[in-house]
Amino acid sequence: EVQLVESGGGLVQPGGSLRLSCVASGFTVSSNYMSWVRQAPGKGLEWVSVIYADGSTYYADSVKGRFTISRDYFKNTLYLQMNSLRAEDTAVYYCARDPYFGSRLDVWGQGTTVTVSS
């Protein structure tokens, strides 16, 4: 079964750091384009970052310089390192698979909640 399972969310103070993980089963993370998408409470979906199959990475302007996307081939896991967190980063974070570059996000994880508050 093709599946994504996120973990690593939690409560963190402004300026703090968190690392989110997204474990894949049924397919290979490194062979796909993988994105992180977030949803603030009561708001819509916001794309955060992507890692291409060739390893290239891109970020939304709102997180550029603070977040880093990466992957581990052997663990078949996607990561999102989040530094210098702000209150506006509070959201449910989803990882998602893009099987054909820029075509669609066809598999989503269940989401992990990040709360930035003092």
Q: Which residues make up the interface to another protein (CB under 8 A)? A: 35, 37, 44-47, 49-50, 58-60, 94, 101-106, 108-111
Q: CB 118 → another protein: shortest distance, Å?
A: 27
Q: How far is 109 from 118, CA to CA, in rounded Å?
A: 28
Nearer to another protein, 44 or 55 (CB): 44
The neighbour count for residue 36, using CB atoms within 10 Å, is 27
**Rounded (to 5) percent helix, strand, coil in the chain:** 5, 50, 45
For residue 100, give both structure tokens: 């054909």
Please compute Rg for the chain using Cα positions.
Answer: 13
Q: CB 13 → another protein: shortest distance, Å?
A: 26
Q: CB 4 → another protein: shortest distance, Å?
A: 9
Nearer to another protein, 17 or 110 (CB): 110
Q: CB 74 → another protein: shortest distance, Å?
A: 26
Q: How far is 112 from 102, CA to CA, in rounded Å?
A: 24
Nearer to another protein, 88 or 106 (CB): 106
